[in-house]
Structure 1
Amino acid sequence: MAMLVILEGRHGDDADTRLFSAGFGFKIDPSWSLLARSVMSASEGQGANAGNAHHLARHQIGLAYRPVDTDSWNALMRYERRSERVTGTGSATGALDGASVFGAGGGSGGSAGLPGRTSADIVSAHLNYNPRPGTVINGRYAAKWSRADDGLLKSTYWAHLLQARYTQDLNDDWDLGVQAGLLRGKGGGLQKTFGVELGYQVMKDLWVSAGYNFVGLKDRDLTANDYTSKGAYIRLRFKFDETTLGGVSAGAAPLPARDQTKHQPEATPTAGPDPATTTTTTSANDNEKF
């Protein structure tokens, strides 16, 4: 079992800010793990911002399945609750000023930084399959139900996302990927994404990738850390787990460095202190992230 708790505070001329985060991981058996994470922040305006406030909360719980007798596949199932409350004029309130939990292009009806309440419930399932060395297939299904209330009008929105990625090693350092996805939202709106990507392993467990999406979709709640908008992008991928920090991972014997990384979920955030892949994406019109 592992647990991490962080409490931070900031006092400024524009706002007083508090941040609380906690992560929990419990190994049910050698193959199954229970994961949970919560992040809550509160910002109250000071000086010219007096009377303004911004509250954010994000809670996740999930189950991860990583069989110890095979390295061919693993899975993650997760539920997430996001909420935001803005009071006052809606003007910037310190360092925590940011977009609504409803993503740009999501069609949820929320407006970033405007007074009111927004919330979203999200469920997702992630599957990673390695049919043979050097080949990785990632699949993901996600759905959300979101609500917005500005005190005058109330609205709801739902959406479903189905996405897949195929990655093939070209040699020890280069790989080629293809990704595609469909997003259907309330009212019958349909968005699509399709793109290709070329990656290079700069050093052990660190990749630089460049890609281009010919068509794109946007939903901040559902697209997570994947870049799905139309256009070119560059991203960094770094893999780490407990063995990176000097620990010994329970389960199967360690794989060679490159294959071991390929067996981890790509661009799939975990819900606690469990082996994870951290992905940083950079582009001209990058998706917003909470």
Structure 2
Amino acid sequence: MVTKLRVPIGEKFAFRGQNELNLGSSDELYPNRTTLGLEWAAYPGVKLRLAHQFFDGGILNSSAITSLDTITDYALGENTDLTSRYSILGTRNGMSSYGSVGLNHRWKVSPGFRINLGYERIFDDLFGRTGAGSRFETPYAVGQTASVLGLSEGSTYSVGFDYTGSKTFKGSGRIEYRDAKAGDVLFSTFSGLGKLSDSFSLLGRVEFSGASNQELIGRLGDTFNGRLGLAYRNPLDDRFNGLLRLEHRVNGDNTPNDIGTGSESRDTVLSSELIYAPNWRWEFYGKYAARWAETELDGGFSNDSFISLAQLRALYRFDYRWDVAAETRWINQSSADFSEWGLAAELGYYLSPDLRAYLGYSFGSVDDRDFSGYRSEGGVYGGLNLKVNRLFNDFGVQTPVPKPVEATSAAAKQENFYTAPIESVEEEEAAPAAEASEPVLFEQDPTPPKKQEEIPRALF
């Protein structure tokens, strides 16, 4: 949990405070810490900051860090920004410093299409001395030897684009190249969202990343992650909704066992979800997912596996606040001859339209050839369901527009008398006076007028 405080002191000074509290158990890598600082706006876009940070717990327990930062965020033009940062750190191990400078430019090619260009340079290697000794370049660290790891200077070049010029398609992409002494890395990501029709939407995202490491340049595999999703929702009939997702991942040498060797995995996941609610009482939900996985270890051993999961759930609201639900789940791994069933029945009560409390009983059974064979287990469970609804002051909720009220007053009929065609006026005059819902405004001539041709409204 993070708490921040900012107190202005005059026009150019401000006092800042921040507390980071870890709500879990003691964490060696993320302990509780408090930061106090003084900030000075020396020039528009340039800030000078002096801060002192206290640690409570972890490997830095009872330690403190003092930092002096110069931060620049200056607009060179309407679409060009210059950023820089230079920091001096003082700890028990001595003094160290590092800095960075960057340039970002946004080029609006056409309405709805923009190109983003960026450059950033990080200088001053962080290879100073620590309480455990000097830090140096190393491809990997085992156990407590992580204290020797340091950071190398380098440059980053990026090119990206954003397209929002169409009502049915939006896309973005970014290619980033990092040049450093530790090795060159190429990272790219592309995403798109399109509407195939009023009911179908297609979403896709592709990420590719090279691998780099100190002293292991070109020896680690690349990673790939691709996602494709198809959603169905009829804006005129919301009783049925569906979602289909396909994901493919390739992780090269994700678990190095030795220099140049490791395990590589390839996963493909296909899943679908369906919701059908014919009325406010009934709701049916179904989900199916399948995963194909292939793992190679040290280039000489490989293993394939297939696992599937299915879920069905039915809910019936027999009262405005009460409902009953039944659910079944099944998981199966054919390569290991393993399967497991689960059944559940529950009773729910709505504390509010968006908060539901439930109590149920589950039944389950497992059939595994490698352990005890067939076994069954059950028990009572309970919980709360919260529907996240109407956030940010009902953002996205539209107020229904009232239907226009038909004019039935005498003034409206008088207006219609002058704007309606002659034929409609004759029909109103021929109607019996007793059937009129409003008093007669003009005295009627007993002799009906002669038949005339309809006169267009525009002439009146």
Q: TM-score, normalised by structure 1?
A: 0.53
Is residue 2:263 matched to residue 1:116?
yes
Whether contact under 8 Å (1:214, 1:231) holds in the other structure is no
Structure 1 gap segments, 5+ residues each: 8-18, 47-52, 91-114, 218-228, 254-290
Provide the residue aligned with 2:363 in structure 1: 214
Counterparts of 1:123 and 1:202, CA distance in 2: 36
| 3-state SS, counterpart of residue 76 of structure 1 | strand
**1:154-165 matched pairs, under 5 angstroms:** 154-165=302-313
One-letter identity of the residue aligned with 1:147:
E
Structure 1 residue aligned with 2:345: 196
**One-letter amino acid of the structure 2 residue matched with residue 34 of structure 1:** L
Q: 1:4 to 1:152 in 2, by over 3 A?
A: same
Task: Flag the 1:190–1:70 CA change in 2: closer, same or farther, 3 A.
Answer: same
Q: Which structure ranks higher in relative contact order (CA pairs < 8 Å, sequence separation ≥ 6)?
A: 1
Whether contact under 8 Å (2:255, 2:263) holds in the other structure is: no
SS of 2:198 mapped into structure 1 = coil
Aligned residues, how many?
210
How far apart, in 2, do the equivalents of 1:42 and 1:174 lie? 54
Contact 2:173 2:190 in 1 (8 A): yes
Q: 1:88 to 1:194 in 2, by over 3 A?
A: closer
Structure 1 residues 189 and 171: CA distance shift in structure 2, 3 A: same
1:74 matched to 2:241:
yes
**Which residue in 2 is equivalent to 1:178?**
326
The more displaced of 184-193 and 54-63 is 54-63
Deviation of the 1:146 alpha carbon: 0.8
CA distance in 2, matches of 1:129, 1:80: 25
TM-score scaled to structure 2, two decimals?
0.36
- Deviations, residues 191-247 of structure 1 (Å, cap 9, x unaligned): 212123444545554445555532278xxxxxxxxxxx9884646443458998623
Match of 2:289, as an amino acid? Answer: A
Question: Quick one: distance in 1 between partners of 2:311 and 2:267?
Answer: 20
Gaps of 5+ in 2: 1-168, 176-186, 215-219, 367-377, 401-460
Q: CA RMSD in A?
A: 4.9
For 2:359 and 2:221, the matched residues in 1 are separated by 36
Counterparts of 1:120-269 in structure 2, within 5 Å, are: 120-150=267-297, 151-187=299-335, 188-207=337-356, 209=358, 211-215=360-364, 232=381, 234=383, 236-240=385-389, 246-247=395-396
C-alpha contact 1:193 1:230 (8 A) present in aligned 2: no
- Secondary structure of the corresponding residue to residue 362 of structure 2: strand
Higher Cα Rg, which structure? 2
2:342 maps to a residue whose letter is: T
**One-letter code aligned to 1:183:** I
The whole-number CA distance in structure 1 between the counterparts of 2:291 and 2:230 is: 18
Q: CA deviation at 1:158?
A: 1.0
Alpha-carbon distance between aligned partners in 1 of 2:361 and 2:189, rounded to the nearest angstrom = 35
Identity of aligned residues (%): 23
Tell me which of 217, 220, 230 is aligned to 1:63: 230
Shift of 1:3: 6.0
Shift of 1:130: 1.0
Given the alignment, which residue of 185, 195, 206 partners 1:27?
195
Aligned-pair CA distance for 1:167? 1.7
Return the offset for 1:84.
Answer: 3.6
Q: Is the 8 A contact 2:207 2:224 kept in 1?
A: yes
Change (3 A) 1:87 1:246: closer
- SS in structure 1 opposite 2:238? coil
Q: What is the CA distance between 1:61 and its match in structure 2? A: 0.9
